[in-house]
Amino acid sequence: MTELGESTSISLDTVVDYLDQLLETSTTPDFPNAINGLQLANSGTVRKVAAAVDFSARTVAAAAQENADLLIVHHGMFWLGTEPLVGTRYERIRMLIDRDIAVYSSHLPLDRHPLLGNNALLARTLELEPSDGFARFKDIFIGVMGTSDIRTSTLIERARSFSRMHGGETIAPGVQPDRVTRRWAICTGNGASADTLREAIENNVDTLIVGEGPHWTAVDAAEKNIVIIYMGHYATETLGVYAIAAELERKFHIDAVNLSAPTGL
């Protein structure tokens, strides 16, 4: 956070324009309900930004308690599609408007960013050096991959330490004590799938690091001599939004706060 007395204000349009360019928001393909970019405006000024993985009643209330003007999330307001604005959905919107809080969401643009993205930052956290893209989606790569010479058990311990810091738990089935990871790939969030396993095989990946995946991926991976390290969907996607908040603090000298609302998944 900025030093007391140093925090300033900036126009919402300036912040949004900067994020849209930084994250290549308009040119990055995504799922229809992601709706990347500004999802809800405020009266036009930002003095404090709050960052959270999910748009939820918890994070909206926390942003209001922190007196934030802008809430940045990875999973946005419209993730479940069109829904009536009743009950808790109405209450969330009402609180945002009453407290003059804007919402900016970034899904795949944030996953794939080479410096501030979830995948690049998770690789750095695990002390891995990416050399290529991984997890193709249309004409982009969401994740990263590279080579290493590290005991898989050591990699798992690094992953486990990180997950626990963010309210999650790392699971890595069937790892032999002396196993060494030579080629790894990372796809945060819901990263274990038929597509990523197929891509891992094509690229001789022996260790796949993800947030989560269906039960069958653990069975299928073991039969293909691939270890999957499941670090938790939430934990693996904290890095990007927190990095964006820090970048806005650095760029515009506005205050920033990270909101923790782990799901346990």
Mean pLDDT along residues 229-237: 98
One-letter amino acid identity for 71?
L
Which tens digit of pLDDT belongs to each residue from 103-144?
999 999 999 999 999 999 999 999 999 999 999 999 999 999
What residue has token string 């982009």?
A: 140
**Which among 210, 225, 222, 235 is positioned nearest to 173, based on CA atoms?**
222
Place of tokens 């419209």: 78
Please state the φ and ψ torsions of residue 151, each to the nearest 5 degrees: -60, 135
pLDDT at 6 (0 to 100): 58
CA distance readout (Å), 208 to 126, 131, 221, 228: 13, 15, 9, 5
Among 22, 171, 186, 195, CA closest to 110: 22
Q: pLDDT tens digits for 87-104?
A: 999 999 999 999 999 999
For residue 228, report the phi and psi dihedrals to the nearest 5 degrees: -105, 125
Residues 239-264: tens digit of each pLDDT: 999 999 999 999 999 999 999 999 99
- CA gap 27, 137 in Å, rounded: 13
pLDDT tens-digit map of 161-188: 999 999 999 999 989 999 999 999 999 9
Nearest CA among 205, 207, 210, 200 for reference residue 231: 210
Neighbours of 95 (CB within 10 A): 15
Using CA atoms, how far residue 53 sits from 93, 252, 263, in Å, is: 18, 22, 10
